[in-house]
Structure 1
Amino acid sequence: MPISSGYTQDVIANGVGSAMNSTTTDVDGVSYAFVSRDFQLTSSSTPLTYGLPSNGIVNSVVASTAGLSFQLGDYFGNNSLKISSSAAGSNSGTITFTTPIAAFKLYMLSTSGSGASTVNITVNFTDNTTQTFTGQSISDWYDGIGFAIQGIGRILRTTNVLESSSTNPRLYQTALTIDAANQTKPIQSVTVTKTNTAGVMNVFAFSADAYTSCLAPVLSNTGTVTSNSADISWTMPAGNPGVSHDIYYSTSSTPPTAATTPNHFDVQGTSYTLANLSPSTTYYYWVRTNCTGATSKSAWSFSKSFTTLCGSIVPSYTNDFSTFPGNCWVNNLTGGSPDTGPTGTTISPLWTSRNFLNVAANGPSAHMNIYSNNRIGWLKTVPFNLSAGGYRVKFKYAVSTYSGTAASAMGDDDLVHFMASEDGGTTWTILESWGPNNAPSNTANEFVYNLTANTGANTIFAFYGTSGTVNNSLDYNFYVDDFTVEAAQLSTSEVNRQVKKAEVHPNPFKDILYITDTKNVKSVMVADTSGRVVSTVEGAVKELDLSKLNSGLYFVTLYFKDGSQSTVKTIKK
């Protein structure tokens, strides 16, 4: 509701220059004012990442009024009705609106500095009648409930010292329900009267649910949601002359206006299934009613939102772990082996967020702290649709000591596997392994794997980490960052590297396992299904004597001279 008069002070520092020049007073009576995001003490000052929006539009975060917004006054002029006194004659002020409108509800945006304020609010209608709301409590600008916006920071006017916070200060939303007898009367102005001695009252803006004979529907809770659809429904206020409905949805929370084109027109009934949605995506939606009365369309309803379920993503895709573990990633799986897959979950995941290589400037990454023994953790990705072919996966990886940045060895039977599953996680293939023979350095190493053999429409990758059964008294972190699946651009060397495969025979074997074509082999490692290394051999060995092993399944990994490797499953009779 645009305001024509009533502001008495400028309490929002903005533009370039001292806060004393862009404000007339403070918010709280002790020299602290609000600050706009465009405030700079000098033209070379670092721009703010907090503050009131530069355009003055406050989108309320109150859940019951999703989509409600307020327009603050001009930052270069007075923008607050400030009331410090409770003494009669100086304890009130009146906000007058540019265009009077009738309303079901009126919403006031305000705050109180240096303690809470209690006010009486009188709504003045154009026919000279009034409706008064007594004893309205307005919280202190720090830590109160019912806020429309928080974490907007402040500035000390006398010194230009800025204070930032993710939660304070705050502006609060007060809802005023207009009596049924007054709902058709245009509202001319609002008078605010302070009745207690504590606190400094500041009124900034008003918005309204405008009266109409065609009432907006009320959205019900979202129904069934899949990876590409969602069932929505709504209810109609009693007596509403509605005949059909329009639906608007978007990945943006910005509410539609009267001029916004709906996604669906003239929907009959009070429910609808939104289809052809993207997986793992948050959508916002609104509904309005088409009526037969004097007003042909209602206002848009308040919004609701939903997030579609995880579905296969078509690359390109990157997870930088700034939000951990990432939408549709799973990090609380444990137990099992690369052969069985995870066997359980844990409330204390082993893969967690940590700055890459313990350096804050590197930003967050995924990491597993590997120490002691018998610790097994899985980090699974979102599923990918690789059916188009021609993709590659790449990521950064490294190892450092637990609390520092120094290099660390990996324990005798410690292992980290990078694996792929073409069937959504039922069976796994090891693409790369790191262990005591090839422990990563404490620098950002890059792993690149061309997915020429992986074209599944439901392909999942996973990092499997285990500290084995032996406690080596080592305590270190294995890091993964910037996980990317993208279109591959293969060089000749990459193609040659990709085609190297471990080939062994016979399989199953009894005692001796033979290796085919060993001229490019650097070393061989054999591990059991728990990840425990049971044999390692350096050099281009042609046969392995595994007669001392028990019968069962084993993983034989060949490390090639060009740095690549390949793993094959074998069975000992």
Structure 2
Amino acid sequence: MIKNLSFKICLPLLGILGGISVNAQCNEVSSFSENFDAYSCCAMGVVPTCWDSVLLNGASQIISSTSPASGTSQIYQNGYGTGKISIVVMPPISNINAGTHQLKVKMKANSAGYLEFGYIKDNIPETFVVLQGININNTSYNDAASQRTFTVPTTVPDGMRLAIRNPGTSFAGHYWDDVVWEPIPNLATNENDISFGVSIYPNPFNETLKISDIKDVKSITINDAVGRVVKTIEKPTAILELNDLQKGVYFVNLHFRNETVKSFKSIKN
């Protein structure tokens, strides 16, 4: 990865104290790991080299040293009200839509919080697309709920970058640390993989989809053709009632209890 100077572009039309911290000339990488310990509290908009920060309407995003998950530092995002939006943009990656990698990150909040995982084009706030909403109720990294794993659909366009946005809908202070873009474990199907042989049918379908083996499926997310999460099912059964979905192409992602994910392309007539 090439390290370079970062600079800030002020965007008065986007709101008071709005701006984008931009890192230039960074090569794409196929994996990364970041614990933020090379950075210290508390200047506004600080992120690692080849990451970027978007702050709108007085939103806050700093490096914080308040009880990180590991080491000395972590990301802190706080909006303090509607419209105060912060977006932390991750480094460019070459395999964002390969379906081979996942993002793991530890999160906590000082009260009930809400962030959004998604992708963005050229750090332009209006291009951010939500892949998954993140409700954060744990106040400690010691809580098992602090470890989050996100998969990215293969429909995400080339040239996009992963990002985490605080949409300003919660007054909570949001903390996250130990971010890893890594290969999905047990991606190769074998007889020991609990997802081996699991299928969904029929395809195309009308109102319902059936899962051939549900016992190890923890949850299901359904993405539309552009990668947005349109439905989440926390305790799925073998028959999925999907009459609320419009006709079109969907990606049905089965999340297994061993943290593997199996994705199916399905068409609703």
Q: What TM-score do you get using the length of structure 1 for normalisation? A: 0.29
Q: Which amino acid aligns with 2:106?
A: Y
Instruction: Report whether the alignment pairs 1:514 with 2:210.
Output: yes
Instruction: Report whether the alignment pairs 1:309 with 2:48.
Output: no
Q: Is the 8 A contact 1:523 1:537 kept in 2?
A: yes
Q: Is the 8 A contact 2:109 2:139 kept in 1?
A: yes
Q: Is the 8 A contact 2:116 2:164 kept in 1?
A: yes
Q: Is the 8 A contact 2:211 2:238 kept in 1?
A: yes
Q: Is the 8 A contact 1:392 1:448 kept in 2?
A: no
Q: Is the 8 A contact 1:497 1:562 kept in 2?
A: no
Task: State the partner residue of 2:163.
Answer: 463
Q: Is the 8 A contact 1:555 1:568 kept in 2?
A: yes
Kindly name which structure, 1 or 2, has the bigger radius of gyration based on alpha carbons: 1
Q: In 2 relative to 1, CA 467–348 (structure 1 residues): closer, same or farther, beyond 3 Å?
A: closer
CA deviation profile, 1:159-218 (whole Å, cap 9, x unmatched): xxxxxxxxxxxxxxxxxxxxxxxxxxxxxxxxxxxxxxxxxxxxxxxxxxxxxxxxxxxx
Whole-angstrom CA distance in 1 between matches of 2:227 and 2:79: 15
Whole-angstrom CA distance in 2 between matches of 1:373 and 1:508: 41
Q: In 2 relative to 1, CA 561–393 (structure 1 residues): closer, same or farther, beyond 3 Å?
A: closer
Report SS of the residue matched to 2:163: strand
Of the three residues 328, 333, 339, the one matched with 2:50 is 328
The gaps in structure 1 that reach 5 residues or longer are 1-277, 283-306, 333-345, 403-407
Q: Kindly report which structure 2 residues correspond to 1:126-525, keeping only aligned pairs within 5 A, or say none.
A: 279-281=2-4, 309-313=25-29, 318=34, 320=36, 322=39, 324-332=46-54, 347-348=56-57, 352-355=61-64, 358-359=66-67, 363-369=72-78, 378-384=87-93, 396-402=105-111, 408=112, 416-417=116-117, 435=134, 442-443=140-141, 445-446=146-147, 462-465=162-165, 475-484=171-180, 504-507=200-203, 509-525=205-221
**1:520 Cα shift?**
0.9
Q: Is the 8 A contact 1:317 1:484 kept in 2?
A: yes
Identity %: 18
Q: Is the 8 A contact 2:63 2:73 kept in 1?
A: yes
Whole-angstrom CA distance in 2 between matches of 1:376 and 1:507: 40
Report SS of the residue matched to 1:325: coil
CA deviation profile, 1:368-395 (whole Å, cap 9, x unmatched): 4478779876433222457xxxx97765
Q: Which amino acid aligns with 1:326?
A: P
Q: In 2 relative to 1, CA 570–326 (structure 1 residues): closer, same or farther, beyond 3 Å?
A: farther
RMSD value, Cα: 5.6
Whole-angstrom CA distance in 1 between matches of 2:210 and 2:84: 32
Whole-angstrom CA distance in 1 between matches of 2:229 and 2:80: 14
Q: Kindly report which structure 2 residues correspond to 1:38-57, keeping only aligned pairs within 5 A, or say none.
A: none
Q: Which amino acid aligns with 1:463?
A: A
Q: In 2 relative to 1, CA 429–435 (structure 1 residues): closer, same or farther, beyond 3 Å?
A: closer
Q: In 2 relative to 1, CA 526–309 (structure 1 residues): closer, same or farther, beyond 3 Å?
A: closer
Q: In 2 relative to 1, CA 462–500 (structure 1 residues): closer, same or farther, beyond 3 Å?
A: farther
Q: Is the 8 A contact 1:331 1:380 kept in 2?
A: yes
Q: In 2 relative to 1, CA 415–521 (structure 1 residues): closer, same or farther, beyond 3 Å?
A: farther
Of the three residues 517, 534, 544, the one matched with 2:240 is 544
**1:320 Cα shift?**
1.0
Q: Is the 8 A contact 1:514 1:542 kept in 2?
A: yes
Instruction: Report whether the alignment pairs 1:559 with 2:268.
Output: no
Q: Which amino acid aligns with 2:48?
A: G
Q: Is the 8 A contact 2:223 2:229 kept in 1?
A: yes
Q: Which amino acid aligns with 2:141?
A: T
Whole-angstrom CA distance in 2 between matches of 1:385 and 1:461: 10
Q: Which amino acid aligns with 1:330?
A: D
Whole-angstrom CA distance in 2 between matches of 1:523 and 1:353: 33
Task: State the partner residue of 1:57.
Answer: none
Which structure has more RCO (C-alpha within 8 Å, separation ≥ 6)?
Answer: 2
Q: Is the 8 A contact 1:555 1:570 kept in 2?
A: yes
Whole-angstrom CA distance in 1 between matches of 2:75 and 2:206: 41
Task: State the partner residue of 2:43.
Answer: none
Q: What TM-score do you get using the length of structure 2 for normalisation? A: 0.53
Report SS of the residue matched to 1:548: coil
CA deviation profile, 1:462-508 (whole Å, cap 9, x unmatched): 1344769xx7xx5434432233457x7x799xx96797798544455
